Every structure is written in C-alpha cells, then in structure tokens.
Amino acid sequence: MSLLNPLHPQGIIFPDVQPYQTMLSGNLVLNDAAIEIIDFLLEVPAGFAQCPPHLHTWYELNYVFEGYLKTSFGGSMLDIHAGEFFLIPPGMEHAHVYVPNNPHKGACLRWKVNRGTGDLPVNTFSTFEQLNVLSNWKPGVYDDEFGLGSLLLSCFENTKQNGSSIANLLQIVQVIFSITELSPERKRWIEIETNSDHSLLRKVEIYLNDDQSYAVDVHRLAASLHMSYGHLARKYKKLSGQTIIDRMSQIRLERSLELLRCTDQPIQEIAYVTGLSSLSYYSRLFKKIYGMSPKDYREKNKGSS
C-alpha cells in the first residue's frame, strides 16, 4: 500500500539538517531486488551557478521545499518551484541552473537497484520488476499532489534521531515503492531524443567527461542505456570510429595535459587523479600518443595555457 496521501504540503518547516550531509545510506535485499541507498541529503547549492549536462548510473529523486531551480532533460530549461519534484532514471541526460544568492532547499535521494542472486519464492511478485518500472519514468516536472514532501520530511526527522537504521532504510525504500504507484499528470514536460545515434554518442561523451572522482563503469553505463556492453561497444565504434576505452583514455590524457602545464603536481599523482591507474601505464600511453614523456612535455610547455 502506498504511503503517499493526496495532501499538497503546506507551510513546510525544514528540520535542522546540515546541507550535503549524508543522512542515510546502506543496502537491503528484498526478495529478488538488491537495493543500495547511495545517499539521502538536504541540497542547498549556495554559491553554485550551474551543474552542466551529465548523466549517471543511479536513480535520483529531487524535491524542492523552498525557492526554485531550473533543470533540463536534454532540452530547454524548466523552472522547478517549491512543492514540485522530478526523478532522473539511470542514463537520462540532465543539467541544472541555480540561483547562487538565493539557493533552493530540497531533498535529494539517490539509489541503485539490481536483480538479486536469490530465488524468488513461488507465487511472489518480483520486487526488482516493480522497482525497475521507474527506469521508464517520463522526464518532466511533477506537482506534489500526493504528500511526498511531508513523507520526505518525516524521513529526515527519523534519520536525524536514528541514522542509517534498518527501519529508516525500509522507510526510504517504501518511499521508492510509493513513487512506482504514481501516475501523476505531467504539468510541464518535454519529449527528449532517446534512441538516435546522435543521442547515444552524446550520452557516452557526457558520461566519460563527467567528474572522475569515482571509477568509470562502462558496463553500468550500458545497463543505464538499456543495452548490453557488447552491443554498446560495437555501436559506439561503428558511429565514432574508436572504442569506448580508447575515447576514455584520450579524455584522461587531455585532462592530464592541463595539469602538467599549469600545476606542480607530481606526475605520479596526475596519473592517479586522471584515472590512468599507474605511472608506468600513463607514461607508456602518453609517449605513444604525444611522442614524448610526461616529464619532457611539462618541461617544454610549463606555464603555457
């Protein structure tokens, strides 16, 4: 049964929570679904003007309590005001524009769902299939006519007191289950190009150029685009003329050039922060592409822009 009720939240009093402090994270296995709650936090992007186009391999729910922001789903920007929310499924391109001097306050919930390894009991509905329906969620801005904001506030209050307890993890999962039951009228939405060759190349490029503070997982990227990695790899090479791995290495090498020219970071550290695994591999690849070692490049180009 859904936890949501048809009450639009009014007069929200936000709990005393620190922005971007992870309130809740953890893992649960329910029947045939392995659920990872990546984080649940208060978003207040003070001082930030925008978040450029990107995509990721997890789900992300954003709910605005106060103020507003602008978001695009591969098209024009849409205003999201207090009492509205949007859901980003894996593989969906999106971007945000903030009001730096008057940032919005909102809840941000990120999670992953994988099919578990256990057998599903006889005559039992698939939990994974129920949660996976959100992979087809239509992009757009939704009015909260269901009490979602009040439920999220309750989750904040409970996690403040008890942290990442099993009960609180289950409450968050129940929120996700409730969202799967919604069929809200889309007040403001846009159709996006999802299956064209141009769209595919753009999504791979955005993913590979995105922040590399986490390990790039091309298999998860393929899954988020609803195809096998083998099919994605073949299609990408046919369209671009190079492999995904070669393009990823090219991006990382190009990123390292700026660090060599403009910083005094040790070369071994540059290899690490650009994701090129080891100094020896980085040096071999660099010399193969640019005809000189990273050290020689730095000495030749130090200080140039």
Please identify, in words, the CATH class of the domain defined by 24-189: mainly beta
* Strands laid side by side in the 188-189 sheet: 24-30, 33-43, 105-115, 59-66, 84-88, 140-143, 188-189
Whole-Å CA distances, 25 to 110, 145, 260: 9, 27, 37
CATH classification number, 245-301, choose in 3.30.360.10, 3.50.50.60, 1.10.10.10, 1.10.10.60: 1.10.10.60
Largest Cα–Cα distance in the chain? 69
pLDDT in the model for residue 211? 53
pLDDT digits (tens), the chain, 305 positions: 345 444 444 455 555 666 667 788 899 998 899 999 999 988 888 778 888 888 888 999 999 998 889 998 877 788 899 989 999 999 888 899 988 777 889 999 999 999 888 777 766 788 999 899 898 888 888 888 778 888 898 898 888 888 778 888 999 999 999 888 875 444 445 545 555 777 788 888 888 877 554 466 777 778 777 778 888 888 888 888 899 888 888 888 988 998 999 899 999 999 888 888 788 999 999 999 999 999 999 998 876 66
Q: Are 103 and 48 spatial neighbours (Cβ–Cβ below 8 Å)?
A: yes
Tokens (6 digits) for 224 = 């988020």
